[in-house]
Chains A and B, each alone.
Chain A
C-alpha cells in the first residue's frame, strides 16, 4: 500500500492533477473564512457590475483630503469623460471639414484628441451644418478644453425635515482622498452577476456544491457498479447474463436522456443538490459495472483465488481479500472519472433548466445558466461566465490528469 502510494506520487501527471485539485479544495475552504457571508446575498441593485474596487462616493466626500497636483490629471479626466457619441461627433466634424479620417481609431483617445486640437476651429463653417450643430461642437470643444479652467463641484445636503439645502463644502479638481481612509470600500474581484451577487463568493460556494454533487454521484455510481460488476463477474452464469442484459441496455440508451426524464419528473421543488447528485449516480453506473466485471473475470480463475475456494473461504472473504485489492486501482480511477462527469452532468442539466432548485445553493451549472439567461456572453460581462467555465474545465482537467497518471502507474505499457 505504502509502496503503491509512493509510486503514484512519483507520477508527474498525477501530482500535477492532484495539486490543481488540492488548490481548488483549499480555495473552497479558505476563501469563505476571508470573506464570510451568504453567497446568494444580493449586494448590487444593478446587474453585472464590473470587477474592481468600489469606493463609496458618499464616504469619500467626508474623508480627509490631500491636494495633489498631478500633471496628467486633466488629460485623464477628459479621456474618461469622452463618450463614444462624442468621438463619433468629432469624426463627423472632420469629415464635414474634408479632413481625412483615414486610419483614425475611435478608441485611440490620445490620437483623436491631438487631431481635434490641431484642427478644430470655432469659426469654421462646415458645409451643410446648422447653427445648432455648430453650437454643439463649441460646447464639445469647451468640455474637452475646459478641464484647464478651475471648475469646482459643490456638495450640498438636503435636510430631510425642512427640505432645506445646506452647502457642505467644495470639491476641487486637485482634491484626493486616501482609499484607506474611506469608510466603505468593497473589492469585487469578479464583479457581480445578474442578480447583483458577488461572483467570486458565489463561485467558491458553487464550486463546493458542484464537487459535492460530483462526489455523491461518483459514490452512488461506483457502489452500484462495483456491486453489479462483482456479482456478474464472479458468479457468472445466469446472474451475469441478467446483469449484462440490463447493463447492455443502459449502455446504449444515453444516460443523458434518462437524466432529463427523471429530473424533469421530479419537479423543481424536489430537486435539491443531493437529489440531483443521486439521480446522476443512478444513471451512470454502467461503465463501472462493465469495467469491474471484465477485471473480475480475468481474476476469478487465478491460482490464488482457486486456492481460497479450495480452502473453503466464504464468498465474502474471497471477494474482499482476493479480488477487491486487485481491482482497487481500477475502481479508484473509475471513481475519479465518475466525479468529473458528475460535475459536468449537473452543469448540462442546469443549462437545460433542470438543475437543482435555484433558491438554496449556487452550483456551477446554475451560475452558467443564469449568465446565459441574462445574456452575459452577449453584453460583454465575461466575469459572469468565463470563471465558471474555467473552474469546470479546471476540475475535470485535474481529475483527468490524476486518472492518466494512475493509468500509467498501473498499466506499465503506457509509461513514457
Chain B
C-alpha cells in the first residue's frame, strides 16, 4: 500500500516521521534513538508472537494431540499424550511463567522442537532455510528497487512517449501478485520452453558442495524466483520514483536554478538525489510487504527458504515452527529497516545538519 501514496503525502510523511529527526543534535543521537526503537519494536514483536496464538480459543496442544491420536479411542492414552505435550511445551504453567521460559529459551537460542519433523530442532530447520531466503530476496529486492528507480526517473525526465507506455505498464506489473508472476514465469520458462528448472534450489540429485556443477545448478535454479520478485517490485518503485521526481522537478529550487542558468544536467542530478531520499524510506517502509509477497512466491518454486518452511509448517500444523518462522521474518524485517534508517541518515545531509523542519 505504501508504494502508491502520492508524492505530496510522502513529503508529509517525511516531515512527520522525521519528527524524531527534528531537534537532533546529530548523527549519534539519531543512531541511539534508532537503536532504542529497534529494541522496542523487537520486544513488541516478541510479545505479539508469544501472546497472539495464546489469546485464541483454540488450544494448539489439543489440536496436535488430536492430530496425533487420530482415530484411537483410548481416552487414557490420548490424555497421557496431551499431558506429555503440555509438559514439553509448558502450556500447563501460568502465562507469565510461560513467557519467561519462552524468552529464556530464545536467549539461549533454542526455538523448540518441531512437531512435524520430530525430533528435529526448529533451529536446524530455520538455519538451513534462512540463507536461501536471504540469498534470494535481498539481491532481488535491491535489483528491483534500483531498476524501478532508474525507470521511474527516466519516465519523469523524458515524459512524452516513454512515460505514456511505462506508466500503465508499471502499474499493471505492480498489480500482478508476486505468486502470480512466479507461476507465469514458471510455466513459460520451465514448463513450456524448458530452459529453466521447475523447482527447488539445486538439482534434486545433488548434495550441497562447492563443485562447479553444484554452483551452476544453484545459479540456474535461482533465475526464475529471482526475476519474478524483481519484476513485481520494479513496477511499484518506478511509479513512486516517477511521481517523486515530477514533484521535485516542479519545485521552486529547480525553477530558480533554471533562472540562474545552471545546466540542465546538473539540475537533474540534484533533482534525482532529492527524489531518491524518500525512495530509501519508501523501501524501509515497504520491505515487510515485499518480503511477505516474496515468501509466497518461494512456495510456487518449492525454493527451500523460509516461505516453503512456513508453508509446510502450516500444512502440518507444526506450531513451534510457525511461531519461529514468523519471529525470524519479523527480526529480518526489523534489521533491514534499521539498516535502511541508518543509510538514510548517512545520505540525507539534513539529518546531520539537524536543520530539518
A interface residues (Cβ-Cβ under 8 A, vs B)? 248-249, 251-258, 260-262, 264-267, 270, 284, 287, 290-291, 293-295, 297-298, 330, 333-334, 337-338, 340-341, 344, 347-348, 351-354, 368, 372, 377-378, 380, 382, 385-386, 389, 392-394, 396-397, 400-401, 403-404, 407, 410-411, 413-414, 416
B180:A287 contact, CB within 8 angstroms: no
**Pair A267/B329 contact, Cβ less than 8 Å:** no
Q: Mark B315-343, 1 if CB is under 8 A from A, else 0.
A: 10000001100100110011001000000
Residue of B45, B56, B176, B179 most packed against chain A (CB within 10 A): B179
User: Does B310 sit at the interface, judged by CB under 8 A?
Assistant: yes
Measured CB to CB, the residues of B under 8 A from A are 1-2, 4-9, 12-13, 15-17, 37, 40-41, 44-45, 48-49, 52-53, 55-58, 60, 63, 159, 163, 167-168, 171-172, 174-177, 179-180, 183-184, 186-187, 191, 198, 239, 243, 246-247, 250, 285, 288-289, 291-293, 295-296, 299-300, 310-311, 314-315, 322-323, 326, 329-330, 333-334, 337
- Quick check: A377 and B175 within 8 Å, CB to CB? no
Query: A4 CA to B302 CA in the complex, in Å?
Result: 49
Given that A261-B52, A400-B4 are contacting pairs, would A389 and B330 also be in contact in the complex, using a CB cutoff of 8 Å?
Answer: no
Known: A353-B314, A368-B179, A413-B246. A252 touches B41 (CB 8 A): yes
Which A residues touch B7, using CB under 8 A?
411, 413-414
A380:B183 contact, CB within 8 angstroms: no
Identify A290's interface contact among B13, B45, B60, B191, CB under 8 A. B13
- The reply to whether A392 and B177 contact each other, CB–CB distance below 8 Å, is yes
Contact residue among A264, A284, A385 (Cβ-Cβ distance under 8 Å from B183): A385
A173, B186: Cα distance in complex, Å: 43
| Contact A351 to B296, CB < 8 A, known contacts A249-B40, A264-B322 | yes
With contacts A248-B37, A404-B171, A413-B247 taken as known, whether A347 is within 8 angstroms of B177 at the C-beta atoms is: yes
A270 to B40, CA, bound (A): 32
Closest to B6 in A: A407
Minimum CB distance partner of B170 in chain A: A400
User: Chain B residues near A270 (CB, 8 Å)?
Assistant: 57-58
Residues on B with C-beta less than 8 A from A404 are 4, 167, 171, 239
Interface of A (DSSP majority class): helix
Shortest Cβ distance from B21 into chain A, in angstroms? 14
Chain B residues lying within 8 Å of A249, measured Cβ to Cβ, are 40-41, 44
12 residue pairs A–B, Cβ–Cβ below 8 Å: A248-B41, A255-B292, A264-B314, A291-B5, A341-B1, A351-B179, A372-B299, A389-B184, A392-B177, A393-B175, A393-B180, A394-B175
Q: Shortest Cβ distance from A194 into chain B, in angstroms? A: 15
CA–CA, A239 and B187, complex, Å:
52
CB contact between B289 and one of A254, A330, A353, A377 (< 8 Å): that residue: A254
Asked whether A262 and B171 contact (CB < 8 A) given A393-B180, A414-B6, the answer is no
Q: Is the CB of B5 within 8 A of A287?
A: yes
Provide the bound-state CA to CA distance between A386 and B186, in Å.
12
| CB <8 Å contact, A261 and B299 | no
* B186 surroundings in chain A (CB, below 8 A): 377
Chain B residue contacts of A354, Cβ below 8 A: 314
* Contact between A255 and B288, CB atoms less than 8 A apart: yes
- Closest residue on chain B to residue A17 by CB atoms: B171
CA distance A256 to B326 in the complex (A): 9
A340 proximity list for chain B (CB < 8 A): 175
B311 touches A353 (CB 8 A): yes
Q: How far in angstroms is the closest Cβ of chain A from B342?
A: 14
Chain B residue at minimum C-beta to C-beta distance from A267: B58
Q: Residue on A with the closest CB to B293?
A: A348
Assess whether B177 is in contact with A389, with CB atoms less than 8 Å apart. Answer: yes
